[in-house]
Each structure stands twice: as C-alpha cells, then as structure tokens.
Amino acid sequence: MARSGLATAEFLSKRGARVTVSDNRPAAGLDTELRLLAEHSVQCETGGHTVERFLQSDLIIVSPGVPLSIPALERAKQAGIEIISEIELASRYLQGRVIAITGTNGKTTTTTLVGEILRTGGFTVQVGGNIGTPLISLVESSRTESWNVVELSSFQLEAVPAFRPDIAVILNITPDHLDRYRSLDEYAQAKFNIFRNQTGGDFAVLNAEDPRLAAVASEVRSEVFWFSGYREVTRGVGCDGEQMLLRIGDSRQTILPRHSVPLKGQHNLENVAAAISTAHLAGVPSDRIARAVQNFKAVEHRLEPVAEIAGVWFYNDSKATNVDATIKAVEAFESGLILILGGRDKGGNFRDLSLLVRKRVKRLVLLGEAREKIRLQLEGTAPITDASSIDDAVQLSFKQAAVGDTVLLAPACASFDMFQNYEHRGREFKASVARLARGER
C-alpha cells in the first residue's frame, strides 16, 4: 500500500478488474490507504500474505519493495500465475516513446535533466517512475507524440517480460542493495533487464568507464551510444577536459564548455554526458541541449547547497544511500569536510571510503543503526563524533567546523531506521540547518 501499489490498484479497479491488495504491515497505521482503496472497491489483506489469495489470482503486480522470493510469490510462480511489475503493466497501456534510465547512482539528476532538455527542445514530456509519479499514473495523460522519461530502480526492473524502452540508459553499476541481492552480479542482471527486450531500432546509452557495461555491450541488440565524463568516445558524448563533445566517427561537435556545467562533482559530468547523449538521440538540437544544461539547478537531496553560516557551507546529499554515492559526493570537495554518515546498512563496505576520508575529511559524525559498523571499518581515518539525531549531527558538525569548511550529509546508508525515506531525512537536515542559522537549538 505504498505509492505505486495504490496507483496500480486504482488504475486496475477503474478498468473493471477485481483487485486485492496484500500488505505485510498491520492495519493499524494504514487508515488513509485503506479508506482510499475502499473508495475503489479494492479488497485488502494486512498483517501478512495469504498464499491462497495469491493462488486465486489471474495476475499479480509486485510493488518494488517486495522481493520475488517471498513464499507466496514462489507458490504463485509454481502455479503458472503471471507476475509482473507496475512498470511492465504501465508499459502495456502507455502511449508515446519511452526513455528509461537506471544505474546505481545519478538516476534522478539525469532523469530530471533529460526531461528539462526535451522540454527546452519543444517536446511534450512526462517524467516519472522511481522519481515522483508512478509510471502507471502517467498512462492517462500520455499521448502518441509525447516522450515518457522514466527513472527505474533495479527492483522495478525485476519483472518486466516485455517492457521495451526506445532509449535505455544505464549510468553505472556499483555495489548496492546487497541486503536484497545475493551478489553484485545478481543486482547487475536486474539492471540489464532495461535493454533485454530492445531491438535494432532502439538505443542503449552506456557508461564507457564502467567495466561491467563494457563487458555486456556485445549482448545488447539495440544500437549502443557511449558516454564519458573523463575522455572522448568514438560514438557518443565525452569530455576532453575543456569541452563536452558529441562524436560520431570522425565527426566532432562541441556541445558546451565543461566549465559551464553548473553541477558540482566529476560524477555529474558523467550524468550530463549521459543526458546529452539521450537528448541527441531523441532529436533535440545541440543549441537547445546546451541552453538546458547551463540553466539546470541541482536536484533536491543531490549535492544540494543548503546554506552558508559563519563561513561554513552545508550540503545535502541525502540521496547518497550507498558507499559509492558517498565516494562521489566526497570527491566533489577538496578538503575541510565534516562528513555525516549512518543510517540503515545495505550491505556496503565502508572501508572503501578510507582513503578519501583520510585525505579530505576532518571529522566523521555518525548516527543510526549502522554507526558501529562504520566506526569499526573507518576507525583511525578521521576523528569520530557520535550524534543521537540529525539535529544533533548538524549542531555537532558546526561546532567542529572552521571558516571555509563544509558540512556534508552523505550517509552511505538507507534512511529507514530514523526516517520515512531519504527525502524525509534531507528535509530534516535542511530544517536543522535553518534552525542553526536562526540561532535556535
């Protein structure tokens, strides 16, 4: 009974289906959701999944947070019942062309930027999926002439037997969600479903710097277009150090100077290169692409500048929910960092942060369930302070900072131990910074 589940239930009910929603959570605390579903004559079971209900179904749509390995779904699969994701269901009704974007990190920034570039290019655009609006909720407003720009997580790509985007984008593959997947390879295979159903008339936009993507490129049936934030590529968009360049064979075209990219961090050059590649394939003229990129502002919770207080800057990167995302965030700053880490562990190896922390971080401020694991793995890399809450973390960080320093929230963990989601964590961080600026405790 979360966002995509509620939207799916409503969509199917309006089309005459007999719908049951099954949620592991107890009914207490789900009053709003239950009232909404009752208005659409949807049956509900709470407090667990009844195998018999699953076996009575003709079709099962799985919400992203539910693993396909739960017993009720395993039994349904054995019984030959079709099991699909909300993305697959939406794609069967959606009009217009589809740009699908996935990757461990950078999805939301790239998806938002692609949407902005297409709008600047004069296209009719809808943006949704893992960002904001569920794809199923975009079906009714979709048109044959529109572009649907969709952010997708690995969870959403687990049950997509026929989903076929016109342009599929994979930004990177690094360790994440290893509390759900048995291995990094299993996680990567879920991501690769984004191009499994493509054909020769489609495009796959891949990161030339990612060895897993380079290795899988020969399996892609669509036309591969590369991107890089570090060098030129022979077919795609790269950076020669000074310019963002579009190159197809011997043809080279400058899109915009590197210094005019407004987003902070080397990783964002990769996101911009991916977005430029995608927009070019969609038919946006180069001058419109450049204009949209130059006018783009950082997305909320992604290296978002929050405030400057007494010479100390505060940045919100609450979306850094895995170790690799935190590495990219830290790399965006040279030194003088007070780094706030912690939350719910997703199976990450915090030791991967060691070298960067030694070089650039003055102090670590730890909070949440993963605090002791982080302490164990990063002991000796920088002084460590414990915080009891996000407000406490902001206050303690400011006390340890000097003029010119930066306080960075880039937790390397999920947020669900203390917050509803990473957005909630980021908003609370910003509220704490605002109180600090006003001199409140």
DSSP track, 56-110: T-SEEEE-TTS-TTSHHHHHHHHTT-EEEEHHHHHHTT--SEEEEEE-SSSHHHH
Give yes or no: 301 in active site.
no
What's residue 441's pLDDT?
67
pLDDT digits (tens, 9 = 90+) for 302-311: 899 999 999 9
Domain boundaries, given as residue ranges, for the chain? 3-80, 88-294, 304-437
Q: Is a pLDDT exceeding 70 seen at residue 270? A: yes
Q: Among the options 105, 130, 148, 268, which is catalytic?
A: 130
pLDDT digits (tens, 9 = 90+) for 118-160: 999 999 999 999 998 999 999 999 999 999 999 999 999 999 9
In 3D, which of 280, 203, 201 has the Cα closest to residue 238?
Answer: 280
User: How far is residue 24's CA from residue 145's CA, in Å, rounded to a whole number?
Assistant: 40
User: How far is residue 432's CA from residue 441's CA, in Å, rounded to a whole number?
Assistant: 9
Compare 85 and 29 and report the one with higher pLDDT.
85
HSE-CB of 191 using CA atoms within 13 angstroms:
26
pLDDT digits (tens, 9 = 90+) for 313-334: 999 999 999 999 999 999 999 8
The average pLDDT across 401-411 equals: 97
Q: Among the options 105, 172, 177, 328, which is catalytic?
A: 177
Architecture of domain 88-294: 3-Layer(aba) Sandwich (3.40)
Q: Among the options 105, 107, 280, 316, which is catalytic?
A: 107
CATH homologous superfamily, domain 3-80: NAD(P)-binding Rossmann-like Domain (3.40.50.720)
Handedness of CA 85, 147, 265, 340 (dihedral sign): negative
Give the residues across from 61 on adjacent strands.
84
Handedness of CA 112, 130, 81, 183 (dihedral sign): positive
User: How far is residue 109's CA from residue 296's CA, in Å, rounded to a whole number?
Assistant: 10
What's residue 265's pLDDT?
86
Q: What pTM was computed for the model? A: 0.85
Percentage of the chain beyond pLDDT 70 is 100
Q: Comparing 219-228, 280-289, 291-300, which segment has the lowest mean pLDDT?
A: 291-300
Domain at 304-437: CATH code: 3.90.190.20
Q: Is a pLDDT exceeding 70 seen at residue 388? A: yes
Backbone angles phi, psi at 410, to 5 degrees: -145, 80
In contact, 19 and 42? CB cutoff 8 Å: yes
What's residue 440's pLDDT?
83
Distance, C-alpha 37 to centroid of its chain? 28
